[in-house]
Structure formats: C-alpha cells, structure tokens
Amino acid sequence: MIRRSQDYLAAMPNLSLTGLSENWLLKECGHQHWLALAHLFDLPLPDFREADGRSAYAAFVAIRVTQAQLQRISEHQPFSLHTTLEAAGRARFVSQHQLCVGEERLASVELISTLVTRQEQGNNQSACRSGLFVPRAELINPMAGRGLSELAKSFRSQQWQSLWGIEHNRQTDSGEVTFRPSPMGHFNGADFLYCAHFQSLADEAEWQLSSGQQLWQTADRLLCYYGNINLGELLRYGFRVWQQQDGQLRHWLEVTRQSDGQRIADIVTSKTALPASRYRWVGR
C-alpha cells in the first residue's frame, strides 16, 4: 500500500462560493492518485510508457465522494488530504482520500483507475487498456475497492436498483443540457476530456435547469465512466431523475456523445441546501 499526505491552505484557487471546490478536490485526488501510482511502479515521475514508446495514462473507471462537508472550509483555513493507493488487480488501482481539518474528516473520496493508451493517435474513442501491469503480484489486494467496483459494474450494465433515495426503475426525462467542451478549460494535458470536468459540467447543467435561487452543496456523488470524446464533439447531459424536497436535491443523469449516442458516463448526486446568507458557516 502506498501512503501520501499533503497539507494545504485554503485560498482562491481551491475555494468556490460555497466553500472548498468539489472540482478542485477531484482534480487534486486524481493528482495524488497519479503520483502514488508512479510510486507503486517505482517510477520517479508518472511517465508511463508502452514498449513501443506510446504514453499510457490513468483512466478513471469510477469516483465516489461521500459524507462531504466542503462548506466548512473557508479562506486561510489549513486542511490536509491523506491518500492510500493499492492495486486491486494486474491493471486496476484504487485510492482512498480523506479530507481533514485537524483530526476531523470533512469528506471521503474513492477512485478506481486502469491504465490506458490510444490505438489510434488523436482519437480518444480508440483508448484501450494498456499492456502495463503491476510489477509484483504480492502488491495486489483483490478486495481493494470491491464495493465501488461492483457498484460501477451495476451502473455500466444498467442493473443497479437504488442509490441515495434514487430508484433506477422510476426514471423520467427531467431535462437535458448540451455542451461542447472547450480545449482551454475541459480537456487535460493528455488530450482527454478531464474526468473532473464530468462533475463540473454536471453542476453547470444542474444550475441551468434550476431556478438559480438556491445554493446546494454536494454531500455524496458517484461518477461512473465508460468512454471519452474528441475535441469538437458535443455532450448531452440528460437528467433521468430530479428530486427536490425538504432541503435535499438528488439527481441522476446520463452523459452521452451526440455523435453516436453512446452513453459515456452516469452521475448520481445528493446535495443539501445552504442558506445563501451564511453558507460558509452551515453545520458549524
């Protein structure tokens, strides 16, 4: 098991209107996962290469955020991120991240990845599993991330039943938003649509379909990934369930490529209402 810890001071780059930015948190957890993965492979930097020299990257299969209280982190506040990473198989890796202020945990984030490379240069739809594997069999813990892995499989096969009060068999079309992701803001240095921006676009779609009169803070979120897009392609964010009552907002949306109608992600979210007049101090 690889362990890492990092300390931070809350400032404008990692804050949002409602406390710590969930998007920043997902990016940073992904970054810590990537650095820990290099350590697992005994590499000084996460520069993974196929035998033919092609780059390989960590493609995230699923991300789960639970018990988040990001509104409790405000400007100039110290906080830390504690990371562990294990190999769950020859080519599957699981990291756990605990967001803490002092000894108090304010969120848990779990990520599952596999290494991928492109079969066709410049075509993100040609991404496939890399030929790189865990260097030593004794590093594999087949139970690592088992719960999230099984949940992600049930979403991919559309066999899931319910999550956070959302029931699969009660879906209705609750609105749709179309995006053309930007190369300057949504794609990463590996030229893929960045995993964390699936979340940020989900929040943008939510904001466009809501009244805009209420601030919401994520308590729990699940992102399951099945594919990616090429530059210039359109994405459809279709809400299949939208439930809003008693200060709670829950929704499930499917992300599809408009070019071929392929479903490339499912996102399930549970949020809590924050009073706009005192959002930084809710829950204290």
Quick one: fold of 2-281?
Thiol Ester Dehydrase; Chain A (3.10.129)
What is the C-alpha to C-alpha distance for residues 205 and 252, in angstroms, rounded to an integer?
12
Domain ranges in the chain are 2-281
What is the C-alpha to C-alpha distance for residues 209 and 284, in angstroms, rounded to an integer?
30
Confirm if 54 and 126 have CB atoms less than 8 A apart: no
Confirm if 273 and 216 have CB atoms less than 8 A apart: yes
Q: How many helices (H) and strands (E) does the chain have?
A: 3, 16
Output the CA angle 221-225-229, nearest 5 degrees. Answer: 125
What is the C-alpha to C-alpha distance for residues 25 and 218, in angstroms, rounded to an integer?
12
Query: 78-91 burial, b for 16+ CB within 10 Å, e for fewer?
Result: ebebebbbbbbbeb
* DSSP character at residue 37: H
What is the C-alpha to C-alpha distance for residues 273 and 214, in angstroms, rounded to an integer?
7
C-alpha 64, offset from chain centre = 7
| CA end-to-end distance (rounded Å), the chain | 34
Taking each helix axis from N to C end, the angle separating 195-209 and 22-40, rounded to the nearest 10 degrees, works out to 170
Q: Which SS3 state, helix, strand or coil, does residue 40 take?
A: helix
Tens digit of pLDDT at every position of the chain (284 positions):
899 999 999 999 999 988 999 999 999 999 999 999 999 989 898 888 877 777 788 889 999 999 999 999 999 999 999 999 999 988 889 999 999 999 999 999 999 998 877 666 766 666 667 667 777 777 888 888 899 999 999 999 999 999 999 999 888 888 999 999 999 989 887 788 889 999 999 999 999 988 777 889 999 999 999 999 889 999 999 999 999 988 999 999 999 999 899 999 999 999 999 876 655 555 44
* DSSP character at residue 152: H
Q: What is the pLDDT of residue 279?
A: 57
Contacts of 185 (CB under 8 A, 6+ apart): 197
Q: What is the pLDDT of residue 284?
A: 47
